[in-house]
Structure 1
Amino acid sequence: MSDRQPRWTQTWLGGVRAAGVDFGYPGRRLGLPEEGSGSVSGFGRRLAAIVVDWLLCTVGIARGLLHADPRDQGWIGLAVFAAEYVLLVGTLGMTLGMRLFGIRVAAIEGGGRPAFLPVLIRTFLLCLAVPALIWDRDRRGLHDRAAGTVVVKI
């Protein structure tokens, strides 16, 4: 057996770029810049922001301020988390965790703060977790696609 892989495994293992398909940078189809302010945020910043928001809502508010029973803390924390997202993303376009990591939620149309209904849709799907784990080539989860939003760098 040779060290050289058959062509079909090179394509499969290397992804679409190895097959000669170049989709460009994330956000190109949306008219966003490749780097800097307004470019699509990476997975690391988004994950860090949501961890900060989750800890703030579950430990800080649900347990600390509301004195939630540890058995109910998950559901109360999720409710506080959803309320934080609707309130802050709906008014400021970002949560506290997002602000800390320099990202915000933007509407695809116009690039400004998303309207209230898309924020509700995005928050509901984000609380289900699974839609946020399925991404497209523009780093938009199903919750972003359904709401017509994208997370960009500040």
Structure 2
Amino acid sequence: METIRLPASVVTELRKRVEKEGITLEDYVLERLLADVDPPSRAEAYAEAALDLLRAAEEELRAGDLRQASEKIWGAAALAVKAYAYWRDGVRLASHGELWRYKDKIAAELGDWVHDAWAQANAMHINFYEGWATEISVELALHRVRQLVFEIVQKIGVAPADK
């Protein structure tokens, strides 16, 4: 994962746009950078970004920042679902509702456990804002979402650097 430094005014504007669209910063940047890229390549980029967010979530959890770990867990799940949609159907999922509906398609193909992983990811999205989850809850969510991301990454054909 690469770190980029931006002026505070640019970061403020990015945060406003991301909040308004209800997506992660990673998703926002990927959509703009990959606007002219074919769906299979987008799928790979989203899958790789999901893996990066999982690694970042693990680091945040080790550092004790449960809110940041939670948001990265959510982001990893959302990007993995988007990756699957690009890979399987060549479609862009642009809202939380579309993510929820598409998750059902993934569950029909990969198994009902996907519903649990998705529920855990959404609990982490809530925890980012509310801060109620315990460390054990965040660890459990990370475990479930890791399975979702790795299954999707394997299906798409992107090799994770490490498990």
Length-normalised TM-score, structure 2:
0.29
Higher-helix-fraction structure: 2
Q: Which of the pair is proportionally richer in strand?
A: 1
Greater C-alpha radius of gyration: 1
Report the TM-score when normalising by structure 1: 0.31
